[in-house]
Amino acid sequence: MLEHKITLIGTPTCCRYKKMRQTVQDAIKQTKIPYTLEEINDIANLSKHNPISLPHLVINGQLAFSQNPPRAKEIIAYLRVPSDF
């Protein structure tokens, strides 16, 4: 089974970012899908994104969710869709 690359982009002090991070961890625990989690929250990288649309959840290089944290079942469904990663 291939490992998914999950990237969270946003500021750790943001409530939506915290919720999104927790939801990702909960979804992964439920499915036991192998993954790596990268968090991008430094100013240099954040300036490349529209701050109004943050946080972002990127899965395997594709923007999966933006702004509002998804539910765990939405993340699980996204991870189970075959992709070319």
- Exposure b/e, 13-34, CB count within 10 A at least 16 = b: eeeebeebbebbeebbeeeebe
Does residue 82 carry a pLDDT above 80? no
Share of the chain above pLDDT 70, in %: 94
pTM of structure: 0.85
Sequence-distant (6+) residues with CB within 8 A of 68 are 16
Does residue 9 carry a pLDDT above 60? yes
d(CA 27, CA 19): 12
Write the pLDDT tens digit of every residue in 15-56.
999 999 999 999 999 988 889 999 999 988 888 888 788 999
